Structure 1
Amino acid sequence: MTRVLVVDDEPQMIRALSINLRSRGYEVDAARDGRTALELAASHHPDVVILDLGLPDISGFEVLRGLRGWTSVPVIVLSARHGSYEKVEALDAGADDYVTKPFGMDELMARIRAAVRRGVPASETPVVQTAAFSVDLAARRVTREGHDVRLTPTEWAILELLVRNPGRLVSQRQVLQEVWGPAYGNETNYLRVYMAQLRRKLEPDPSHPRHLITEPGMGYRFEP
């Protein structure tokens, strides 16, 4: 059965969507805040996510970014915001579709069916485990020897990019452009500093790294 995760802070909306989805043969999980949504997505692996942007704890945009850190599950945004700016921002953040409230249930169901057809199998795992540390891409959390490791936003962005490409060479230019932006394609000194910081925080022996590998003159590679 197709599993749908409904994320909305309005109980009436959750109830209406759950009734309509279950009557059509879907399995439904529901979350009334963003953190619960990310936890359910990681543990239950939905086939599609219906996401309201106005949540009480973290914004729907943060939920989107958290999901896109580890999964390609289709996300349909529901929002009372009708402006084109919000739609563009949601799509740029990783949404697959945008439906404004109020909406017709038949139209939403058609969009869900289309999203599921376009989707990928929900077999991705948000937790990457190495012998030295673990990376939870959904929760954006790194642990080592049972303790949280505090990373700066830039350190996290570099680590996330490498972890999402295990065993593959990621060029220096690609890291710089994806983390800092197109204007920084040649600032390799930035990378050396941040990679050294990551190794100090994560590798048992930073001078002989096992997981964050440098390919001299080319780029970096993550080995689980």
Structure 2
Amino acid sequence: MTLKPEEYEMIRQRILNFKIPYQEIYNELLDHISTDIETKRAAGDFREVSLLLDELIDSSLGGQAGIENMARVQERLYRLKIHRRAWKIYFHHIWWKTLAVAVGCVILNKFIPANLKYTAGIYGLIFLTLFSLYIAVLIKMRSVKQIDNKRSLLKTDILRKVFTLIPLLNMAFVIPNIINTLTHYHAREFTRVHPIIPLVIFCYTLLYAESCYRIMQEEMYTLKAN
């Protein structure tokens, strides 16, 4: 039996009292509780929704602590799903793209000298691409609905994966090169790498960013479908 709008709103307001920071987890929990109450109504239990909700929270969900723990478990499972799906897509495409990247970098290596102009150009390309990706994700994520001061777990996770992992991985090669290029401190020559190396790393991290972007689109399509 479908709940009345005012009954559904009462349940929604009640669930807001629990510490569930992410919109997707809150929506899933709200849908789970509403479905359970509708099932009880369909089975002939016509008590007030507030009574059914209290009984459900206290008996089946373990009270406030049980609900908040359920939310944390669902958050971990959601992050794990995104992580596994992203790497599955990444490894599915990386094999045939690996050859193209390797061939391209070998060719570029013949034309890119290890001097300030070309090194700065590669770093500029890296930072510009990262910034463009960040803006593209933010624009795309504007359609994800967030209400009641909730955050989007999808948005948080995608931005963390793409725009934390990629810069850190690239900085491991970029920073030593910048220091050596600007200071010409050759006593630390062992930290210096040819510009082609951060370019190779950058190509592979871009493949990972592409995988994360595809996951984002899939999840957003699922959210709209629901």
TM range (shorter): under 0.3
* Greater fraction helix: 2
TM-score (norm 1): 0.24
- Greater gyration radius: 2
Larger RCO of the pair (alpha carbons < 8 Å, separation 6+): 2
TM-score (norm 2): 0.24
